Structure 1
Amino acid sequence: METVFDKEALPRDGSPARARGTGGPARGTDTPQSTIAASEPPNPPAHGARVSIVTRGIVRISAVSHGSRVCRRTPAAIRRADPEVYLLALLRHGRQGVEQAHNHASLGPGDLVLVDSSRPFDVRAEDCDTASGSVLLQFPKRLLPVPEPRVARLLATPLCGTRGVGRLLARFMTDVADEPALYTLDDHARLGHVALDLAAAVVAHHADGEGAPASGSSQHVLFLRIVSFVDRHLHVPELSPAAIAAAHRISTRYLQRIFRSHGTSPSAYVRHRRLDRCRRDLADPAMAHLPVHAVAARWGFTRPAEFNRAFRTATGMPPGAYRVAAVAEDVPTTGTRPRPPTPVGPPGRPAATTWQRRLRTA
């Protein structure tokens, strides 16, 4: 675990805050202190503030402790630098109030809350006599497979972290933060993927509660069957809306309607899931021996140019640059051990007759 911001270590002469180990100002675009160090407290906090990175990578987990005044992110601070990330916090100690997007959450230990770095927000401890402690999950907004308008309704609202999928995420974040020494640098990217999946499950769970079909309805059950089928066949290039509909003996129009009720379309869902698998492989140091086009082909992208455009649109950078940025956070600077080749997973394009048999037996 690396401490990147510690108020107790700041100079007493009023000079600017600096991130430990950088020799310069805290970097707002790639570390979780981007929102904490950018706060504008009207009064000095009663307790110190500390941010320690637990895992590095595109998705980051950090341990945060802070005093009576935590953070106010202003429009001016957003204009200066916006990393365009979601911050999902698990409160472990103390009580906090969070305001964003006309919502207000009063949080106690075990609560989760989601905030958006692109919108002003205010976070403060509600018990000024007790320091607060949180575990913070930070990830790019583009990687969350939930439409942004549906996410916006959940900003600064309490999300339960003591039962269901919320409890799974909270326990995972707590375990990782409590024992960071157990995880190697190569583990960090993989832990980030797990955290992102759990975070997506929590957000989708609460977003689905705001107008999606009831979980026991026949349409919702069919939707779950369809997305499970899609996830099992992502490597098949012929995975089109027509093929998915035929496999479930429904019309393409009805398939479109089912996905529309969940804020997406069959083609968009397939593309997102394929890009998500490619993103994971590109960030995994153990997959570094595979060229980018081979990673794309593993997950059904048969045209490299089309894959490059889709990946850039989804992540904001080309796949090669994403791989460099992700792996650079996780490889040790010295003593890198050789890794055995990793099986490349599903084989190439199946024969048409095989694919037709899969559709008939789905």
Structure 2
Amino acid sequence: MGTGAVEVFDAASLAAPDRFDAWQEAVNAAFVPLRAAPYGDGPSSPALLGPRGSGYDGAAGFRGLVRSQDLGAAAATEVAGGPVTVWRDRAAIADADPGVYKLGVQLHGYSVLTQDGREAALTPGDLAIYDTTRAYSLDFADEFSMFVLLIPRDRLGLTPRQVAGLTAQRISGRHGLGALASSLLTGLGRQLRTGGVDPDPRAVHAVLELVDATLMRRLEPAEAVPTADVVFAGATAYIDAHLGLPGLSVEEVAAAQHVSVRYLQQLFADRGSTPSAWIRRRRIDEVSAALADPAQAVRPVAAIGARWGFPDASGFARTFKAATGTSPGEYRTRHLGTATG
């Protein structure tokens, strides 16, 4: 898989009896060799997790998807499926051991990650790290989706011993740096579904900096001063989470990161932009994706603009044309072959 290319596997395109095995092969290709079984048939103790999801008919009725992209210094993957248990044992490690960490963010459903004698119960928004060089298992009791960042060991700023003390520990995605990391990685998952993540090395580095800081916080009782890259990553994550608010301001973004407006502006200037230009560009990106989405072909152009922070239709049209060289309606026609909206 070349850097920047999004690869998608959808089991729905196959005959029902072939779906589960094909999904497992796609998971192995995106990650590392794993074993998989319909939930309840794996090596863990899923009886503690509750009943199977309704409408699930074992491997034959399995629904699964894998969407992945190589970002150079890391790889981004969204994996989804029906009730399933996946595990990596000594035999699977012997098959291939690239020596990578996996940072998972639960997007939908519920899972239990087991490694190093610990269990982490993850609900949507929660994060956990695990090491592919040692055995682990994941139990998904119902339909689920998870975003996973695959990180080479030498790209993470923690020692193997430090990581070993953090595996299979739930990191809440509801407060502190965990919330910033969860928001940013969830946003990357959305980008993966709508055309792909920008593999710019600076952006990927900022993501890994935030991951480092989030994990280090679990080791350090005292609150560390965040680095410039961590503040920048937090600011862009906050922007992505609030793009639809017309009143989103530079002052609000700075306040959310507990820094001055001047400092925030300098961070963006160091990266060749400004906070206002970044907000505008991200809104245009989301609008462009929506206009090119067949599922939204009948949605009025003005409604799409309003959804992404452009409440004034005429102002939205001018801003969009200035950014793309074409009007929103022309852009939709070019991509969908329709004059709808």
- Structure 1 residue 17, shift from structure 2 partner: 5.1
Helix, strand or coil for the counterpart of 2:36? Answer: coil
Aligned to 2:97: 82
Conserved 8 A contact 1:67-1:132: yes
- Structure 1 residue 200, shift from structure 2 partner: 0.7
Q: In structure 2, which of residues 69, 72, 75 is the aligned counterpart of residue 60 of structure 1?
A: 75
Aligned to 2:32: 34
- Structure 1 residue 117, shift from structure 2 partner: 0.6
Helix, strand or coil for the counterpart of 2:199? Answer: helix
Conserved 8 A contact 2:107-2:147: yes
Provide the rounded CA distance (Å) in 1 between the counterparts of 2:64 and 2:19: 17
Helix, strand or coil for the counterpart of 2:139? Answer: strand
Over 3 Å counting, the alpha-carbon distance change for 1:122 and 1:172 in structure 2 is same
Q: In structure 2, which of residues 179, 195, 210 is the aligned counterpart of residue 198 of structure 1?
A: 210
- Structure 1 residue 139, shift from structure 2 partner: 0.7
Conserved 8 A contact 1:73-1:121: yes
Aligned to 1:92: 107
Which letter does structure 1 place at the counterpart of 2:158?
V
Over 3 Å counting, the alpha-carbon distance change for 1:9 and 1:75 in structure 2 is farther
- Structure 1 residue 4, shift from structure 2 partner: 4.1
Over 3 Å counting, the alpha-carbon distance change for 1:167 and 1:19 in structure 2 is same
Provide the rounded CA distance (Å) in 2 between the counterparts of 1:185 and 1:155: 26
Q: In structure 1, which of residues 8, 13, 19 is the aligned counterpart of residue 12 of structure 2?
A: 8
Aligned to 1:139: 151
Q: In structure 2, which of residues 172, 182, 190 is the aligned counterpart of residue 178 of structure 1?
A: 190
Aligned residues: 206
Conserved 8 A contact 1:60-1:192: no
Provide the rounded CA distance (Å) in 1 between the counterparts of 2:214 and 2:14: 37
Aligned to 2:86: 71
Q: In structure 1, which of residues 99, 103, 109 is the aligned counterpart of residue 124 of structure 2?
A: 109
Conserved 8 A contact 2:78-2:189: yes
| Superposition map of 1:274-285 within 5 A | none
Output one character per residue of 1:325-361: Cα deviation in whole Å (capped at 9) or x when no partner: xxxxxxxxxxxxxxxxxxxxxxxxxxxxxxxxxxxxx
| Superposition map of 1:231-246 within 5 A | none
- The Cα RMSD (Å) is 3.3
Query: Which consecutive unaligned segments of at least 5 residues does structure 1 have?
Result: 229-362
Q: In structure 2, which of residues 156, 162, 174 is the aligned counterpart of residue 162 of structure 1?
A: 174
Provide the rounded CA distance (Å) in 1 between the counterparts of 2:80 and 2:23: 15
Percent identity over paired residues = 24
The farther-off stretch of 1-10 and 170-179 is: 1-10
Provide the rounded CA distance (Å) in 2 between the counterparts of 1:186 and 1:174: 14
Provide the rounded CA distance (Å) in 2 between the counterparts of 1:14 and 1:146: 41
Aligned to 2:220: 208
Over 3 Å counting, the alpha-carbon distance change for 1:151 and 1:185 in structure 2 is closer
- Structure 1 residue 59, shift from structure 2 partner: 0.5
Conserved 8 A contact 1:85-1:116: yes
Aligned to 2:164: 152
Over 3 Å counting, the alpha-carbon distance change for 1:4 and 1:118 in structure 2 is farther
Conserved 8 A contact 1:35-1:73: yes
Helix, strand or coil for the counterpart of 1:34? Answer: coil
Provide the rounded CA distance (Å) in 2 between the counterparts of 1:208 and 1:88: 19
Aligned to 2:135: 120
Provide the rounded CA distance (Å) in 1 between the counterparts of 2:124 and 2:198: 31
Which letter does structure 1 place at the counterpart of 2:201?
A
- Structure 1 residue 186, shift from structure 2 partner: 6.1
- Structure 1 residue 184, shift from structure 2 partner: 7.4
Output one character per residue of 1:275-307: Cα deviation in whole Å (capped at 9) or x when no partner: xxxxxxxxxxxxxxxxxxxxxxxxxxxxxxxxx
Helix, strand or coil for the counterpart of 2:66? Answer: strand
Helix, strand or coil for the counterpart of 1:187? Answer: coil
Helix, strand or coil for the counterpart of 1:160? Answer: coil
- Structure 1 residue 63, shift from structure 2 partner: 1.4
Conserved 8 A contact 2:20-2:64: no
Provide the rounded CA distance (Å) in 1 between the counterparts of 2:20 and 2:82: 19
Aligned to 2:296: none
